[in-house]
Amino acid sequence: MLTKYDEFLCHQIVSTFDHPDTSAREWTERTWFSVHDISGKLSLVNSFGYYPNRNIIDSYVSVTIENKTVYTVRASRELRPAIDDVRVGPFFYEIVEPLKKVRSVLEENEYDVSYDILWEGTMPAHEENSQFARVRGRVEENVVRYVQAGRPTGWIKVDGQTYQLDKENWRCERDHSWGVRRGGGVPEMGVQPGEIPEGYVHNFITYQFDNWGATFHRREHWDGTPLVFSGAIFYPYGSGKEELPLVDIKHNYTFRPDIRQITSADITLIAADGSRKEISAKPLNACYLKAGGMFGFRDFTHGIWMGPYFIDGHKIDITDPQALAEVHFIEDLACELRCGNEVGYGIFELVMIGKYPKYGFEGY
């Protein structure tokens, strides 16, 4: 089936753009888009998921106000025949200038959240090392991703209050990934269960100071052994500086007593040229991705078939410990960061399951 993308001179397989070159149902293309103010009042994450081998496209937004209330809207639709329209109900995504400007819109709806945000990169996008894993002979992960830091403009409306976004007081980050990936959708029936790790860490950070920024994606075994690592230090457009790869990081985190969410972080970035940067991070606000459907929340999970069209939304009081426990698993923490006398802002994402003795966790 022809799509509008078939007009471009960019084909890489002998076929059309209506399907990838594999029939694996895990094939996923995803955008992640974060916006937060530097005071910690509001944090927003929006994502689109494209699943051509499941015939699904979905989207969600999760917004946290003052670390007290979470608002979420989730929507899903049948992908075909409108396969080349990045729209899911009231959600819409537009490429304004490739690798620099994108626009995300949530039109007015019954769930008290809407927005129109222009995301503009301040530094070139960073391409992560690809992630590949074969488990029991089968490819379980084969993903590429790029990451970028920027400044937003536009507006966000939550529960009747409108927040105007400006580049001085707001920051944004985004990534775009595609390939065969873990998670999302419904596991196949009648297959051997996956192994449950004794302990596992996923840690993703993207942030920016005025004159530089950095990102890293690290996964660890419970004893700190790295399983995946990719990262870089990058510089603003027009600086004339090339990005500097990272080869490792060292971390020292402190945690809340009730959930595995950090209260502070000290991180050492170790670059390929041997230089080091010492960073400290203080969380300002937390955006709860599980409420949006990541790993499942209230009958909705990314990539699951919800019928030809589905939409719902929730308002969650996370000052209630039971409600907090329900949405906690993976959070994007809007943070203030310091490096010497420099002050920056960005996103800190952490999943830590099972045991991790360094921080006093002895099991699930």
Q: What average pLDDT does the segment 49-54 reach? A: 96
Residue at 151 is within a domain = yes
Please report which confidence band the pLDDT of residue 193 belongs to, taking 50, 70 and 90 as the band edges. confident
Instruction: Judge residue 347's burial from the number of C-beta atoms within 10 Å of its C-beta, 0-12 exposed, 13-18 middle, 19 or more buried.
Output: buried
pLDDT tens for each residue of 92-103: 999 999 999 999
What CATH number did the domain enclosing 324 receive?
2.40.370.10
Residue at 128 is within a domain = yes
The per-residue pLDDT for 184 is 62
Residue at 314 is within a domain = yes
The per-residue pLDDT for 191 is 85
pLDDT tens for each residue of 309-322: 999 999 999 999 99
Residue at 287 is within a domain = yes
| pLDDT > 80? residue 187 | no
Please report which confidence band the pLDDT of residue 194 belongs to, taking 50, 70 and 90 as the band edges. confident
The per-residue pLDDT for 188 is 74
**Number of domains comprising the chain:** 1
Residue at 192 is within a domain = no
Residue at 264 is within a domain = yes
pLDDT tens for each residue of 11-32: 998 999 899 999 999 999 999 9
Full residue range of the structural domain in which residue 245 is found: 28-185+197-362
The per-residue pLDDT for 326 is 96
* CA 70/CA 81 separation, integer angstroms: 34
Residue at 15 is within a domain = no
The per-residue pLDDT for 192 is 87
| Dihedral sign (CA 45, 48, 54, 56) | positive
Residue at 191 is within a domain = no
The per-residue pLDDT for 264 is 98
